[in-house]
Amino acid sequence: MKVALGQFAAANEWRRNAETATAIMAKAKNAKCDLLVLPEGILARDITDPDIVLKAAQPLDGPFMTEMLRASEGSQMTTMFCIHVPIEGETRVHNVLVALRDGKIIAAYRKLHLYDAFAALESTHVMPGTAIPDLVEVAGFKVGLMTCYDVRFPELARHHAVAGADVLALPAAWVRGPGKEHHWETLVTARALENTCYVIAVGECGPRNIGASMIVDPLGVVTHRAGEDPTLIFADIERERLTHARSALPVLANRQFAQPQLA
């Protein structure tokens, strides 16, 4: 499976982000990618406005998604990213990881774990989801969906792995801070190694977030890594590496605990 990691800094206006995202999609399609992962929260970003997620939120049939769906038409490439979506009758929104293919939404995962940590309080404006997403099949690989802060909780990744995931896709907007880049690399690597899965982790860059997108293979090797600037990385996910890792390190077969479930 050929994958692309599209790291960029979201602007404060959805049209500019739609232009950036669809341009990345075009490059990934031209490179014959099967999967493109973009960051979390790409509708709008403004570090001077703590209410931006409410002001910028759009429904899944809104103008931003209309542009993204149009850009995906006629292609079997799957594109994944996160946007904030209003909830009818509520003052908060959902943080939704969507997967697009050939002009259709094929999956929508509402973020379970909200970033109420390091003096941040995502739950002020965002309501957590209540369901574990199904795996998404891409080019013969099964992909589990996770979003940013989810990576700090091993249960979701393990649930996906036990359900048959080969790959974990992780759009993120990892906030800068002391030790935070170390946390990011450690956690992404741990989720890959303990589950013998590939992890495709794509972070937003810019003044608030670290970027640092990466791919970690099923034996915990960081095979591709971005810095702090916008970039587009191409990589191949190899079935042979996955098979070798699970033969050499059969942690999924050796585990003594049942599949994690939501509380």
Catalytic residue chosen out of the listed positions 40, 82, 122, 204? 40
Tens digit of each residue's pLDDT (9 = 90 or more) over 14-48: 999 999 999 999 999 999 999 999 999 999 999 99
Q: Is residue 60 part of a domain?
A: yes
Task: Quote the CA–CA distance of 123 and 81 in Å, as a whole number.
Answer: 20
Catalytic residue chosen out of the listed positions 29, 33, 82, 111? 111
Nearest residue to 175 (alpha-carbon basis) of 127, 214, 225, 212: 212
Task: Give the CATH number, domain containing residue 142.
Answer: 3.60.110.10
Q: Is residue 9 part of a domain?
A: yes
Q: Is residue 260 part of a domain?
A: no
Number of domains the chain is built from: 1
Q: Is residue 210 part of a domain?
A: yes
- pLDDT for 263 beyond 90: no
Tens digit of each residue's pLDDT (9 = 90 or more) over 234-262: 999 999 999 999 999 999 999 999 999 99
Q: Is residue 141 part of a domain?
A: yes
Tens digit of each residue's pLDDT (9 = 90 or more) over 81-129: 999 999 999 999 999 999 999 999 999 999 999 999 999 999 999 999 9
Task: Quote the CA–CA distance of 202 and 171 in Å, as a whole number.
Answer: 5
pLDDT at 110: 98
148 a catalytic residue: yes
Tens digit of each residue's pLDDT (9 = 90 or more) over 132-169: 999 999 999 999 999 999 999 999 999 999 999 999 99
111 a catalytic residue: yes
Helix boundaries (H) for the chain: 14-30, 52-56, 63-72, 154-163, 180-195, 239-248, 251-254
Tens digit of each residue's pLDDT (9 = 90 or more) over 53-69: 999 999 999 999 999 99
Q: What is the pTM of this model?
A: 0.98
33 a catalytic residue: no
Domain containing 157 equals 2-254
Q: Is residue 261 part of a domain?
A: no
Tens digit of each residue's pLDDT (9 = 90 or more) over 209-229: 999 999 999 999 999 999 999
Catalytic residue chosen out of the listed positions 29, 82, 122, 148? 148
Task: Quote the CA–CA distance of 93 and 57 in Å, as a whole number.
Answer: 7
Q: Is residue 259 part of a domain?
A: no
